[in-house]
Chains A and B, each alone.
Chain A
């Protein structure tokens, strides 16, 4: 974004124009990036699940089915937009956007490399959670405005489960913040630099587990996929959506999966840091522009690898677990995870104190 703005500065545009142009430019860039990532992710999930269930998976479109998701998305683009007659028109139209836009904003907050200053903020770790709670409004309005009973049930379920999962997540985040002493995601990642033993996951393993379970709830993934539980609510909150609007909800869901996994990587697994403690770029010591680019690419590589490991874990869980019951999930959140998170917070404070003494 800053690079683009610097180019614009040379041509003597006014400040506000540069600011808005930069934002729009970045928004488009991120959207394209998200779409490409999601296309890969969906194909990956289908192939991966096929492996689990001894199938082949998509293999007709392109080489070994590599164009399958592109074909699917084109199909969705040209689908008719069916709208229920008694739907609340405005909300029905706008709720996919309420889901989709915050997800794009989330991608701005995550630092993918040390130099990619997408949106630098002193409180970016909490900003992430704040923005993360917006899409659920979209899910709720999508469910309620469709005027279908399945959709309403799906929307309400999604709303309730996000309320109960956000508290343990926040408590775990507080423990991380106290441990690292900063709210800035960039600084949290820098705190974990060096070899992989410096990662937050080791002093905070309980926190990671709690966070992981809650992230499954936030992403609506199996075993917590109540808002769209197929065998009960047909398709849940996006029951009545078709064509591009459905594609948007679908896209948002996968983008959210990816971005939450990236966030977990940043908090617990050292983010873009190399697990071996050094970069190839540092070894060569070239001291030119290439050095800088190579380092960024390496960091992007490491953060993607870690994120994909987490996503593979999530897909593994999807392949092997049945769905939780809705009320059991609430019990899990309120009776087990929140007390554990509080306990974890105390432990973290104690470890921090010990580190101060030693």
Chain B
């Protein structure tokens, strides 16, 4: 039988589109509704984060760092601060390590919750968005009490953290983390066994191991392809050695696997938070949160590579310091920048609605891609 001649349609998704989560443009070639090719265009949110570092001192650059990934600012902040600490050989106190861990894990939870809401919104379900936002709001309230800000914290500093975590905050976190288990259970009951959700996500956007390696995918997207790589386990930083947690992996490689892994990670993060609270509650009298380093006149020298497992994957901050007040060059390796490149590989041959689901499942955040 002769193939019916069809016109290909070239359609622009973005830069302003409800489901590109920010400003990304996808030039999609459609045959009917089947995706034939996706070309991603990035750079709409470029703010010159790396260039800005060259003209500012180390302490001046510190508040800007949170804005690299505004949904998980603590990770960027940690990567930068840790880099300087490596260069200057600064040892930070045990308590500030715990505070850093607990804030980062809470931040991971906030980020994953927002992702979950937006992902369900992409699939067309509106209610989970509000449910996840209720929980995220609680985390942001905790952060507000702790750091004075809801998203751009500027909380870590060279040698520790800026303010001590007090009893009230700890009990607020404990209350949240106890209630969160039930809230997550409700969400799972709403989503997990929904036949429409399963049919929309199963066997969709399959990311093979080789492809994941070739594009240097990190984070949940990599673990969903069956590769067990997590910096918290492989190269434990802060106090992750002392803490019990699992790194969930899945062999299914599809959108559903990524969803399930993020839900599991939420649970694991909650576990870590609880263990940190236990330690902090027993060490309430310990006020040693900061090592004095005179941050205004920092003059480090050398190259430091500081890594952190952020909520989206491996985040690196490479600092090239030449012994003056300003860094010579700061390079950021952000996970979303690598994750965004595989869209074309894994969405060919699926429908337009699937492209949105696949894009949503990768958890890409635009300011992190463009910096």
A76 to B245, CA, bound (A): 54
Residue from the list A153, A230, A234, A320 in contact with B127, Cβ < 8 A:
A320
Whether B33 contacts A326 by the Cβ 8 Å rule is yes
Q: Does A52 contact B (CB under 8 A)?
A: yes
Q: Does A225 contact B (CB under 8 A)?
A: yes
Contacting B at CB under 8 A, from A290-328, are 318-328
Whether A231 contacts B124 by the Cβ 8 Å rule is yes
Whether A53 contacts B131 by the Cβ 8 Å rule is yes
Query: 1/0 per position for B169-213, CB-CB distance to A under 8 A?
Result: 000000000000000000000100010110110000000000000
Residue from the list B9, B127, B196, B356 in contact with A223, Cβ < 8 A:
B196
Among A49, A149, A325, the one with the most B-chain Cβ atoms within 10 Å of its Cβ is: A325
Chain B contacts of A322 at CB under 8 A?
A: 120, 123-125, 194, 196-197, 200
Among B123, B134, B194, the one with the most A-chain Cβ atoms within 10 Å of its Cβ is: B123
Q: A321-B194, A328-B199 known; A229 and B124 CB under 8 Å?
A: yes
Give the Cβ gap from B18 to chain A, nearest Cβ, in Å. 5
In the A-B complex, the 10 residue pairs with the smallest Cβ-Cβ separation, listed nearest first, are A323-B124, A53-B130, A322-B125, A322-B123, A231-B19, A231-B122, A322-B124, A149-B11, A319-B127, A53-B127
A325 to B19, CA, bound (A): 16
Q: Does A72 contact B (CB under 8 A)?
A: no
**Which residue on A lies nearest to B118, using beta carbons?**
A231
Chain B contacts of A319 at CB under 8 A?
A: 126-127
Query: 1/0 per position for B99-125, CB-CB distance to A under 8 A?
Result: 000000000000000000000111111
Chain A contacts of B126 at CB under 8 A?
A: 49, 53, 318-319
Whether A326 contacts B130 by the Cβ 8 Å rule is no
Give the Cβ gap from B184 to chain A, nearest Cβ, in Å. 16
Chain B contacts of A55 at CB under 8 A?
A: 130
Q: Does B86 contact A (CB under 8 A)?
A: no
Query: 1/0 per position for B24-50, CB-CB distance to A under 8 A?
Result: 000000000100000000000000000
Give the Cβ gap from A206 to chain B, nearest Cβ, in Å. 19
Q: Does B246 contact A (CB under 8 A)?
A: no
Q: A53-B131, A149-B11, A223-B196 known; A325 and B351 CB under 8 Å?
A: yes
Q: Does B354 contact A (CB under 8 A)?
A: yes
Q: Does A54 contact B (CB under 8 A)?
A: yes
Whether B353 contacts A232 by the Cβ 8 Å rule is yes
Chain A contacts of B233 at CB under 8 A?
A: none
Residue from the list B18, B122, B196, B354 in contact with A324, Cβ < 8 A:
B196
Q: A230-B18, A326-B33 known; A321 and B125 CB under 8 Å?
A: yes
Contacting B at CB under 8 A, from A138-176, are 149-150, 153
**Which residue on B lies nearest to A157, using beta carbons?**
B33
Q: Does A192 contact B (CB under 8 A)?
A: no
Residue from the list A222, A223, A234 in contact with B17, Cβ < 8 A:
A234
Q: Does B352 contact A (CB under 8 A)?
A: yes
A-B contact pairs, 21 of them (CB 8 A): A52-B127, A53-B126, A54-B130, A150-B11, A222-B124, A223-B124, A225-B124, A230-B124, A231-B122, A231-B124, A231-B356, A319-B127, A321-B125, A321-B194, A322-B123, A322-B194, A322-B197, A324-B196, A324-B200, A325-B354, A327-B351
Q: A54-B134, A232-B356 known; A323 and B19 CB under 8 Å?
A: no
A52 to B126, CA, bound (A): 10
Give the Cβ gap from A304 to chain B, nearest Cβ, in Å. 27
Q: How many residues of B contact A (CB 8 A)?
A: 30
A164 to B19, CA, bound (A): 28
A150 to B124, CA, bound (A): 17
A318 to B197, CA, bound (A): 14
A328 to B353, CA, bound (A): 11
Chain A contacts of B122 at CB under 8 A?
A: 231
Given A54-B134, A320-B127, 13 more pairs with CB closer than 8 A: A153-B33, A232-B353, A232-B356, A319-B126, A320-B190, A321-B124, A321-B125, A321-B194, A323-B200, A324-B199, A324-B200, A325-B353, A327-B351
Among A52, A231, A234, the one with the most B-chain Cβ atoms within 10 Å of its Cβ is: A231
Give the Cβ gap from B286 to chain A, nearest Cβ, in Å. 39
Whether B199 contacts A325 by the Cβ 8 Å rule is yes
Whether A153 contacts B199 by the Cβ 8 Å rule is no
Chain A contacts of B194 at CB under 8 A?
A: 321-322
**Which residue on A lies nearest to B125, using beta carbons?**
A322
Query: 1/0 per position for A233-264, CB-CB distance to B under 8 A?
Result: 01000000000000000000000000000000
Whether A229 contacts B127 by the Cβ 8 Å rule is no
A325 to B121, CA, bound (A): 14
A328 to B201, CA, bound (A): 12
Give the Cβ gap from B292 to chain A, nearest Cβ, in Å. 46
Whether A326 contacts B125 by the Cβ 8 Å rule is no
Residue from the list A49, A54, A320, A326 in contact with B353, Cβ < 8 A:
A326
A5 to B228, CA, bound (A): 80
Give the Cβ gap from B203 to chain A, nearest Cβ, in Å. 12
**Which residue on A lies nearest to B10, using beta carbons?**
A149
Chain A contacts of B19 at CB under 8 A?
A: 231-232
**Which residue on A lies nearest to B352, using beta carbons?**
A232
A321 to B194, CA, bound (A): 8
Give the Cβ gap from B199 to chain A, nearest Cβ, in Å. 6
A326 to B356, CA, bound (A): 13
A322 to B122, CA, bound (A): 9
Give the Cβ gap from B133 to chain A, nearest Cβ, in Å. 9
Chain B contacts of A231 at CB under 8 A?
A: 18-19, 121-124, 356
Give the Cβ gap from A148 to chain B, nearest Cβ, in Å. 10
Chain A contacts of B356 at CB under 8 A?
A: 231-232
Chain A contacts of B120 at CB under 8 A?
A: 322
**Which residue on A lies nearest to B121, using beta carbons?**
A231
Chain B contacts of A323 at CB under 8 A?
A: 123-125, 196, 200, 353
Give the Cβ gap from A71 to chain B, nearest Cβ, in Å. 22
Chain B contacts of A232 at CB under 8 A?
A: 19, 352-353, 356
**Which residue on B lies nearest to A55, using beta carbons?**
B130
Chain A contacts of B12 at CB under 8 A?
A: 149
Chain B contacts of A321 at CB under 8 A?
A: 124-125, 194, 196
Q: A153-B33, A229-B353 known; A325 and B200 CB under 8 Å?
A: yes
A225 to B196, CA, bound (A): 14
Chain B contacts of A150 at CB under 8 A?
A: 11
A55 to B134, CA, bound (A): 10
Give the Cβ gap from A111 to chain B, nearest Cβ, in Å. 35
Contacting A at CB under 8 A, from B243-289, are none
